[in-house]
Structure formats: C-alpha cells, structure tokens
Chain A
Amino acid sequence: MKSMPVSFRLSLCALAIAGVSTSTLAAEECPIPGNVRVVIGSTSTGGDTYQNSSIVVDRLAEKLDINMKVDAVGAMPAFRALERSSNGSTLMIFHDMAYLGHLYGINGYDNIFEKYKVGPTVAINPGNAYLVPKNSPYQTVDEIIDAAGNGEEISVAIQPGGVSEIGFSALKNAVKIEYPGMEDNIVAVNTGSQADKNQLLFNGYADVINGSVQANEQYTRLPEDDQKAMRFVWLTARNETIKQANEEGLGETTREELLQYVTPNVSVTMDGEKDFTFDKEFFFLYNKDMSPEIVSCIDNALGEIYAQGEIQEQQKSLFFIPNFLPSSEAAAHLKDKMARYETVIENIQ
C-alpha cells in the first residue's frame, strides 16, 4: 500500500479527533441510548395517541439521530415498562387519562406527579365531543341539563375513568349546581370503544354519547332519517384551542362550525361562574430516576423541532393543535389542570 502524504494523515487524525470529541460532547450533553422504545397508553394504532406519538417520535429520532419506536402496549404495560427502565431507553407518551385515572380511582393509576417525571406536552386533540342522535329531542346541552333538572333521566355512554368520563362528570356537576339534588338523572352507561358507544346511540340505549370530531364527523353529515345520523352538541375544548385549528376544520365541518359547540356558545358551568373546558393533551412521562440530562436533552431537541415550525403544520393537518411546553412548565400546567378537575369530581361524589 502506498503511504499517505504526512499532511493528509495529519488531516485525517485531526478529523478523527474532532469527530470523537464532537460525539463525546454530544453524548455528554444528551446521554440518551441509541435505541429508545416509546410506549403509549393505548393499544390502538388507529387512535389519536398513536397518531400523535408517531409524528413526534419520528421527528425526535431524526433530531437526536437515534432509533425510536412507538409501541402501542396500553396503559398498565406502559407504566410498568416505564418503571423498569431509568436509563432513558423506555419513554412513555400518554394523555390526561394518566392523572384522571388516578382521580377516578382506577386500579393501577398512581399519581403521575409522585411516581414518574412529567415530560413535555406536545399537542392537544381538540376533538373530544358529545353527540346526540340527529332526531334527538335535545337540541343543545342546555336542554339536556334542563331536562335532567326537571326529572328526565339522561343516559350518557362513556368509557369510564378518563377523558371520556370527565365531560360526563362536568355535565353532572352542572346539573348539581343548577338543579341541586337532580344530578343523579345524568346516568353513565359504561362501555368501551367508540364502536360500542356509537352502537348504543344507534340502538337508542343512550341519549348522549362521548365521541370525537375525528371519529364522528362523517356521522353528522348523514341525513336525519339514517339510523346512524348524529349531531354534535358539545366540544369540551377551549374556544382558544379550536381557534388555532386550520380554517377548514375536519372533513366538511369548518372551524367556524366547530366553534358553535364550544364555550361560550355552549355553556356547561363548572362553579356557577366559569364554564367547564377540557383540552385532551398529550405529554411525555419518564421514569422517576431518569437523569436530568436526558430530560433537558429531550426538552431542547423538541424545542428546536417546534422552533423550525414544520411539525406544527403536520400536526394541524391531522387536526391536532401543537402545544409544546418543556418539562418543568408542562408539569406545573398539568398539576393545575388536575387540581381543577379534582374539584369537579369531588363535587359530584
């Protein structure tokens, strides 16, 4: 082999040293493993948790130049996987059910602020909705609250213990405030998937169902004589949240039309003064002992990703509202949210 010129060899050495020192520096700044598993609190790959997690995780993996994979394992296996791994090789993405499950006393849901580290928030799904059959006698949530207050039993199909139940609790709370003693007329029909909730509405065994803009919007476009036709009566999202959605909204329901179903156009009182609102937010959860360097590394990486602005467009195109808050702000924000909903839940117990 021909010997390389000395200058070329020196250059190569310099490059190698520079490369090594750069990667060492990078590893010190961000000591995250090269293969990271992101478990999510849902087993569905067709739901909003998987959809949103995929967007964020793909961008994060690219930014950190590591392998990351989203695994739809469900809440309990995800919490357990997170407990087992403190070196950053397992992270979790979930939504408000992580703390609502604890507030509702669901077995296996601990206080996330004590048991885990709360990571950054990444997005909001503004679509949490309540629907009635298109030919329902109830035109608005006000009419539903009044009917319950006047002794009619209103059955609401929900999945217990989380995002689906919080709106139900709010309705019950509103009836209690406006018609004390009549709140038991709002009755939960506990069920599972969106399919089950829809089915109860089709068969007339629920007056109201919890659903979402994404899953139910097409049903709202069916003619009234169709057994499957539904109508939105309430979106729990804040008015400001919906205002951030793309103007075209979702499907053929525009942002302006969606705004008709949120406060102040729809009022479900929280305490007699303020309206109840609920944004379904997605955020990271970490093992309690995960190093602060990894926490800030992910915060920084996401901060840069959101600063570039492309992810926001992607999220908005899929009807998510970008909502990046770094870990410390996210924890305070979610704690505050939890405290608010705790009062609602306690008030109806």
Chain B
Amino acid sequence: MDFFSQLTPMILLLVFAGTLIGIIFGSIPGMTATMAVAVCLPLTYSLGINGALALLLGLYVGGIAGGMVPAVLLNLPGTPSSICTTFDGHPMAKKGEGEKALKVGIVASLFGGLFSAAILFFLAPVLADFAIKFSYVEKFLIIFLALTVIGSLAKNMLMGIFSGILGVWLSLIGVYPVTVGGNGETRLMFDFMEYYMYSGFSLLPVLIGIFGLSVILLDAEKGLKGDGDGQAIKLTKGSGFSFRDIKGQLVNMIRSSSIGTFVGILPGVGGSTCSILAYTQEKNFSKDSSRMGKGAPQGIIASESSNNALTGGALVPLLSLGIPGDSTTAIMIGAFTLQGIQVGPLFINSNIDTWYMIVTMLVVANLIMFAAMFFAIKYIAKVIEVPKHLLYPIIVMMCVAGAYAINYGIMFDVWVLLIFGVLGYIASKVGIEVVPLIIGFILGRSAEVYFVKSLESFGNFTIFFTKSPIAVVLWVLIIISVAFPIYMRMRSRRGGDAVQSN
C-alpha cells in the first residue's frame, strides 16, 4: 500500500509541530484553533497535501485541547468551545486541584479525539447521509436544546432566563448578512454606529471580556494586597490526579463524545454548541449532578470529551460532502483547494491514501496532544500560583492582542473586549447571570438564522413540531431538559420546607 510509504518522519514531525503550536495557541486567551489554522494555512502551500494536512490537523487538535488550560487555571475559555470547562475546572483550580482538573480534561480530550477518529474512519459516509436529513428546522431545535442549559445553570431561574435573552439580543446587533441568506440590513443600532458595529460584536472579545476582564475588575475592586480571594491558591493543597477520578465516567465520556462528534457532523451548528449540549445532558442524565458547577470532574469530562470529539466529527462532512463542519475545517478546506484537490462525496474513494493519512494523522495528533499535555501540565499548572499583580497585566495584554487579531486587526474588537469587561462587572453587581448571558450570545445568531429560514422555507410554525421524527425526538429532549431543573428545584425546595417544619 502506498499509504505506508507516505507516512514519512517529516509528516510525523509536522503533526508534532502542529500539535504543539496548536496547544500554545489554544492556551493563550484570545487565540483559537481557528486562528492557528488560518495563520499557518499559507505556509502549507509548499508542503504538498499530506504535509499540509499533517500540520493543520495537529494545529486543530492541539488548539481545541489547549483551550482547557486557561479555562481551568484562569477561568478564561481559551477557545469558545471550552466555555463549559470553566464551570467546574476553575472551581477545582481554586481548591488547589488545577493539575488534577487539567489531567481529567486531557484524558477526556484523548478519549473524545480517538472516539471521533474511529467514528470518522468507520462511519463517515453513512453519517454524512444522516446529517443531510437535518434541515433548518432540526438545526434550530438542536440550538434550542442547547439553550435550555440556561435553566440548569442559572442560580435564579427568572434572572437566568432574562440574562439568556439579553445575550441573544446582544448577539443579534449588526447586519443580517446576505452570506447567510439575509437582507444585508443592520438592526438594533443607530445609523452612526454602523461603521463600527456593522458585523456586530465578535464572539471572542465578548467571551474574554466577560470572563476575563470583568473578573480582573472585580479583583481590582477588592484590592490585590495578598490575594483577591483572601487566600493564595496552592497546587499542593488539593488532591492529585488518579485514574480513579474518571472511574464511572465511561457513560459520560461516550455520551459527550457522541454529542461532540454528531454536532461536528452538522455543518453550521458550531463547536461551542457541542460542549454546552454535552454539559446539559450530563447535568440532566447523570445519577448525581449536584456538584456540577462547583468543581466536579464529570463537568470537565463532558465538556472536554465533546469538544475534542468535534474534530473528527467536523471532518465527516468535509471529506464526505465537501462541506466544512465548523469554522476551523472551513479554513482547512483551503489546504485542499490550494493544492487543487476537490473535496466532495467521491473524495474518499478517489483519494484513498490521503483518506488513510488523514485518519492516521488525527489519531497521532491526539496521542501527541495527550503525551505533551499530560506530562507537561504540572509545570503549566503552576501559572495559578503566579501572584495576581504579575499575572493579570499579562492576561490583559494577551486578551487585547487576541481581540485585535481575531478579525485581522480591527481596533473596535479591543473596545468590545473593554465594553464587555465592564458589562460583566456591572452584571455581577446587579445580579445578571453571566453564564446564561454568554450562552445566549453564542447561540443567538444561529438560532435566529435557522428559525427565520425554517419559516421562510415552510411558511408556518407547526413545521417545528411536525417536520420529521428527528424533530419529535428533539422536542422530547427539550421538554426533559426544561422540566428537569424545574423538578429538581421544586424537590430541593420541598426538602428544605420539610427540614424547616421538622
């Protein structure tokens, strides 16, 4: 087979280099896997298709996995898809279990990555055929299902829903682009704002503003003499990692990896959606979810296994239909077109060696990611011990650089970072819940497009309920997802009343 002769040391070196650079990109707040792939794409032209894919797949896997590092240690999602890792990762880091949290995340990432690579290898064409059954209606319902996580995550249900709606509203500011079939008109702004806000607020500056800058402002208010929390975080304080920490989590890992892979297969649904969905489903279906959000490894496992599983999933439509599954594979398709290679429904059969190479490189990238991160993490985790008066200025600098770079040098994005940093600060003072707000923001735009396009295509609301058996299944999941937190709250309230009456 020609395939083995193509698997040269140079190819392996490129996967290795790509994975390491990807981890670094993902670890820097404001730098994403997508950005890493975009920056390196022009370099791949001279590498040939195998070399190009080796580098880009390494960057992709490393970039997604690297996002967990700042999410756990700094409460800053390194990439949008690691947002749910902050919910449990950072509380663990604050307890001195940062290294343990990261190792749990790395194991989950490896599982997710290998799971999706296996799915890609064995089921790509079949799944691509299944994915095309998802029209606008089903895609809207998936986004709606992800939005129901707000009910589970809100501390106060009413305020949580309000915050979520506020997030959706903020996401809709700007143009309804013709590139998604819109009318090209701007909305929710005054005319004089159009020059700056034509494209609305970019996700990443909003994310790092709300998660990063607002926390720095809150700590600055408390003063940095000693530590913001009143006590320094020590890595040695908490318990270390043991593989027992992931014992009993196989179902969670398989479920979350399946969600990640499947969301990846659906073009346009997006990477952040998969970790939010996986987190919601773990919260709803696990035997004990009471500690989720307070530092439970199961939350990290759900988030990280799903977002790494996205990598293989997003390659399914790319290689089986010629359609990228997410924003990173949308850039990666450039490697094929620059080399003059057509990707489409016949790609796998007509490029069988390249296909084997892609799957092999995806597996190798995951193994390199695991080896590099698992053994280096105890040193990386020491970031948490750096005094905040040294750490915060560096974080601000990285956030500003990342915000400026995300759209190839738009200064307004730096202002967005600042605006949302202040908004996050004010939100915490007036009781607006930041997590539902950001989830609303992430999902709002897709929800709008799929909702409007469903109505345009079918002309009535009943289609959301009657479109297909898939839609019915999604409605059942939505109802469970909405009812479950209400039931849990009522039960805990009744329990509280009983304790009081006793």
Residues of A within 8 A of B (CB): 39, 43-48, 50-51, 54, 58, 69-74, 76-77, 80, 101, 106-108, 159-162, 189-196, 198-200, 202-203, 205, 214-219, 221-222, 226-228, 250-251, 317-318
**A107 touches which of B45, B186, B323, B331 (Cβ 8 Å):** B186
CA distance A43 to B334 in the complex (A): 11
> Does B178 contact A199, Cβ atoms closer than 8 Å?
no
> Does B268 contact A77, Cβ atoms closer than 8 Å?
no
5 A-B pairs within 8 Å (CB atoms) are namely: A101-B178, A162-B178, A192-B449, A199-B132, A218-B344
CA distance A191 to B135 in the complex (A): 12
Mask of B168-186 contacts with A, CB within 8 angstroms, 1/0: 0000000101111111111
Q: Name which residue of chain B comes closest to A73, CB basis.
A: B408
CA distance A19 to B342 in the complex (A): 47
> Does A54 contact B453, Cβ atoms closer than 8 Å?
no
CA distance A200 to B179 in the complex (A): 16
CA distance A121 to B323 in the complex (A): 29
- Asked if B41 lies at the interface with its beta carbon under 8 angstroms from chain A, I say yes
Mask of B198-226 contacts with A, CB within 8 angstroms, 1/0: 11000000000000000000000000000
Q: A106-B178, A195-B268, A228-B132 are in contact. Are A161 and B42 (CB under 8 A)?
A: no
Within 8 A of A (CB), among B327-369: 330-334, 336-338, 340, 342, 344-347
CA distance A80 to B196 in the complex (A): 10
> Does A218 contact B181, Cβ atoms closer than 8 Å?
no
Q: Chain B interface residue count: which class?
A: 35 or more
> Does A77 contact B410, Cβ atoms closer than 8 Å?
yes
CB distance from A167 to the nearest CB of B (A): 16
**A76 touches which of B198, B336, B347, B449 (Cβ 8 Å):** B198
CA distance A184 to B460 in the complex (A): 21
> Does B407 contact A219, Cβ atoms closer than 8 Å?
no
Q: Name which residue of chain A comes closest to B185, CB basis.
A: A107
Q: Name which residue of chain A comes closest to B346, CB basis.
A: A218
CA distance A190 to B176 in the complex (A): 12
CB distance from A198 to the nearest CB of B (A): 7
- Asked if B227 lies at the interface with its beta carbon under 8 angstroms from chain A, I say no
**A160 touches which of B181, B324, B407 (Cβ 8 Å):** B181
Given contacts A159-B179, A198-B323, 16 further A-B contacts (CB under 8 A): A44-B333, A45-B331, A51-B337, A54-B42, A54-B338, A74-B199, A76-B175, A80-B195, A106-B184, A108-B184, A192-B177, A192-B449, A215-B344, A219-B344, A222-B345, A251-B342
Q: Name which residue of chain A comes closest to B38, CB basis.
A: A45
**A-B CB proximity, top 8 nearest:** A218-B344, A46-B333, A45-B334, A192-B180, A195-B323, A191-B181, A190-B181, A106-B184
Q: Which of B198, B333, B337, B410: most chain A Cβ within 10 A?
A: B337
CA distance A190 to B456 in the complex (A): 9
> Does A159 contact B345, Cβ atoms closer than 8 Å?
no
> Does B129 contact A227, Cβ atoms closer than 8 Å?
yes
Q: A46-B333, A215-B344, A221-B346 are in contact. Are A202 and B132 (CB under 8 A)?
A: yes
Q: Name which residue of chain B comes closest to A55, CB basis.
A: B338
- Asked if B457 lies at the interface with its beta carbon under 8 angstroms from chain A, I say yes
Which residues of B have CB within 8 Å of A219? 344-345
Q: Name which residue of chain A comes closest to B137, CB basis.
A: A203
Which residues of B have CB within 8 Å of A74? 179, 199
Q: A73-B408, A77-B410, A251-B342 are in contact. Are A192 and B330 (CB under 8 A)?
A: no
Which residues of A have CB within 8 Å of B42? 54, 69-70
> Does B337 contact A218, Cβ atoms closer than 8 Å?
no
Q: A199-B135, A202-B132 are in contact. Are A161 and B45 (CB under 8 A)?
A: no
Which residues of A have CB within 8 Å of B456? 189-190
Which residues of A have CB within 8 Å of B407? 73, 77
Which residues of B have CB within 8 Å of A192? 177, 179-181, 449
> Does A205 contact B135, Cβ atoms closer than 8 Å?
yes
